Chains A and B, each alone.
Chain A
Amino acid sequence: NKDFMKDEQGNYLVTLLKGHGIGPEISRSVKQIFQAAGVPITWEEHEVYSRAMNKEGDLLSSETINSIRRNKVALKGPFMTPIGKGFRSLNVTLRKKLQLYANVRPCRTIKGIDNIYDNVDLVTIRENTEGEYMGLEHRVVPGVSESIKIISRRACLKIARYAFEYAIRNNRKRIIGVHKAGVMKKGDGLFLECLREINEEYPTIQYSEKQVDTMCMKLAMNPQDCDMMVMPNLYGDIVSDLCAGLIGGLGLTASGNIGAEAAVFEAVHGTAPDIAGKNLANPTALLLSGCMMLDHMELYDHGNTIRNAIYNTIEERDNLTRDLKGAGSTTLFTEAVIKRIENKT
C-alpha cells in the first residue's frame, strides 16, 4: 500500500469530496489545518452531482471514481442523496464500485466535553458489503415479507483478517467477535468460524465472542472495559452508533471505509442544512477522519500532530463551536487548532 500517487512536487494526491450543507466549510477547515501542519497532500477536488450520472443512478461521474481508484485515498464530507426514485446513495455507490469491505470507527472520549461516559476507547470494524444490506427482499404473499441476509466465507475471512491486522498495526490487544449465533446458527456461525480460523494466525491478540445484545448491554454499562469489536453489517451499524453516543455523538467520530484498492474516509454526520454557510459547523469529525486517513497513508507524525492539537483545543475549550456549548465558530476553532500546531513546530 506504499504506492500512493504523488504529483511533481512529491505531494500525495488525495481525492476530496467536499459535500453538501456544511461540507464545504468543514472541508475548508481541514485543508487549512493540514496545510498548517505541513501535510504533503495535494487535494483533487471533485463534485457530487444532484442528478444521476449514469443508468445506475450514481451521483458521481466516472472521472471521480477513477480519481479515487488512481489515488487510492479520498476524504469526503456529508452528502445529501436527492429524494426520489432512481438515485443510489453515495455511500452505496462508493462501497460497490470500490469494494470498500471494511467500515472502521474508532471512538475515543475527548477530554473537555461534558459527557456521561468517560475513558471510552473503542474501535468497531463492520463488514460492509453483505449481510442484511444487500436489498434482497420480497413479498411472499400479501402480508408476508422476507428479507435475506447473506453471509459468505469469503467476506468473513476478509473482514476477520482486516480486524486482526488492524489490531496489530494499532497496538490493540483484544478483539471481540460480535454475533447472534444462538439464533442465526448457520449465518453468524460461519462468521465466528472464520474469525476463529484467522485468530489462530494472531496468537498475541486476545480473542473472545459476545452476543450482540450482551455486547450492547456491556457498552451501555462499562464501555471503558472494551477494546476492539468486529461484526457483520447490521450489528456494526447499530453498535458503531451506540459507541458514537458514548463519546457524545457523530460530531466527534471518525470513520473510514477500506477496500483492497482504495479507502474513503468520511464524517458520518449529516449535512446540517440549518447551520450551513453560517460558520457554525464543527469540523472535528472530518478532521479526525482526515487523521485516520493520514495513519492509513502511514503519515503517522502528521496525524498525531493534528490529533493532539484538536484534543488540546477541545480540552482547553478554546473557541469551541455551538454544538459543544462553546461560543466560537468554524473559523475561530480552526485558528485555535492551527495556533497549537504552529506552537508545536
Chain B
Amino acid sequence: TFLQRPGEGNVKRVSLIDGEGVGPYLTDSVQEIFQAAQVPVRFENIPMVEAKEMSINIEKQTLDKLHQNDVILKGPISNDDTLMWNNHEISKALEIYAYIVHAFTIPGVNTRHKDIDIVLIRENSEGEYASIEHELLPGVIESIKVITRESSLRIAEYAFEYALLSNRKKITVVHKANIMKLCDGEFLEAAREISIRYPTILYEEMIVDATCMNLATNPQAFDIMLLPNLYGSIIGSIIAGIVGGAGIAPGANIGRKYAVFEQGARHSGKELAFTGQANPTAFILSAVMMLRHLGLPFFAEQIQNSVFKTLEEQKIRTPDIGGNHHTADFTRRIIENLD
C-alpha cells in the first residue's frame, strides 16, 4: 500500500517539451495514455523556439516557465544548432547534474544479450561539456575539460545513495585516469572517498575502453555505473543499444529541486519523424519513473505493466524491434492493455 498525505489528491503539474524528431510522437503517446488511465497530471506545454527567431526575451520567458514546475517531461533535442537552447542549457538553468539511464532487458524485445539490468549515473554539468575552446594558432584548437572536486563528490554521493535506496550491490566507476591523471584522478578520488561511507556496496574501478569491451562480451557483470560526462554519453548509448536501442531504455536528469524525464539515450531520430514509427517505450517508461517521483505509484505500475504486456505479446511492434507498426498503433494497444 502507498499512503498519501491528506491533500495529495490534487492534480500534479508537469512542464512538457515536445523536442524534435521523434519527440512530438513520444509526447503524444504519453499524453494519450495518461488521459486513458486518468492520471491526475496536467501538462503545460513549453514551446520550442527556433534559433532564427532568437530573442533574449523568448528565452527568458521559456526558462521562467520551466522554473514554475519541479518536473519536466521532455522529448529529445538534437545537437545541431537549430534550436535556441539545448539539453545542456536546460540542465544548467535548472541545476540538474545527475543523468540516469536505466537499461534493462524487457521480455518480448529480442536482443543478443539477456538479463541485463544496469543503472548508469553520469555527471552532467562539467567535464568535456564545459565548452571552453580556443584557437591557439591558426589550425590548432584546444578544448578544455574541467573536473571539479565539488561536482565529483556530489555525483558520487548521489550514486551511492541511489545504490543504497534501490538495494543494488555494486558500483563501477569508469575513468581514464591512466591518461588524464588529474581530471579523472579527481573524479576517482571523490568516488573512493564516498565509497568508504558505504561499506556494504561493492566498489570497483574500470578504464573506459576496457568497460566498452566488457559491455560487448559480458554486460551482465554491471550493476550501477558511475561516470564523468562524456564517457557517460558514450556508455549510456551502448547500454541502451544492448537492451534494444534509444527507443527502449528510459532515463532522467535530476538535481536538488528539479527533475527532467526523457529517453535514456538522447537521440532525436529525425528520420523516424517522417515515418511516424518511433518506439515510445523508453519515453513511456521514463514517464512511469516520473509518476513514481510524483508520488503516483499506482498509475506507474498500471502503465508499466501494460507496456510490458504489449511488448511481450509481440503483436504490435515498431520497426526498431522487428515490427512494422506506427507509434500510434503501439500506443493504442497499450491503452487496450491498461485493464
Q: Which residues of A contact B (CB under 8 A)?
A: 116-117, 132-133, 135, 137-139, 142-154, 180, 182-190, 211-214, 216-221, 234, 237-242, 244-246, 248-250
Contacts and interface: CB of A to CB of B under 8 A. Distances in A.
Given A217-B240, A249-B213, 6 more contacts: A116-B113, A149-B128, A151-B143, A180-B233, A184-B131, A245-B213
Contacts, number: 167
A52 to B, nearest CB: 19
B193 interface: no
B216 A220 contact: yes
Top 6 closest pairs, chain A to chain B, by CB: A245-B216, A182-B79, A153-B139, A220-B241, A143-B149, A245-B213
B262 to A, nearest CB: 15
13 contacts: A132-B145, A142-B149, A149-B144, A150-B141, A153-B138, A184-B133, A212-B234, A216-B238, A221-B241, A241-B210, A242-B209, A244-B213, A246-B216
A109 to B, nearest CB: 12
B265 A187 contact: no
A149 B238 contact: no
Contacts of B129: 183
A250 B210 CA distance: 10
B242 A145 contact: no
A245 B146 contact: no
B128 A133 contact: no
Interface residues of B, number: 56
Given A152-B139, A238-B208, A180 B214 contact: no
A124 B209 CA distance: 14
Contacts of A183: 79, 128-129, 131, 230
B112 A186 contact: no
Contact of A154 (B139, B147, B183, B185): B139
A249 B240 CA distance: 21
Contact of B148 (A116, A144, A185): A144
Contacts of B265: 213, 217
Contact of B181 (A137, A144, A153, A213): A137
B41 interface: no
B10 interface: no
B141 A190 contact: yes
Contacts of A150: 136, 140-142
Nearest to A115: B217
B183 A145 contact: yes
A216 B210 contact: no
A148 B180 CA distance: 9
Contacts of A187: 133, 141-143
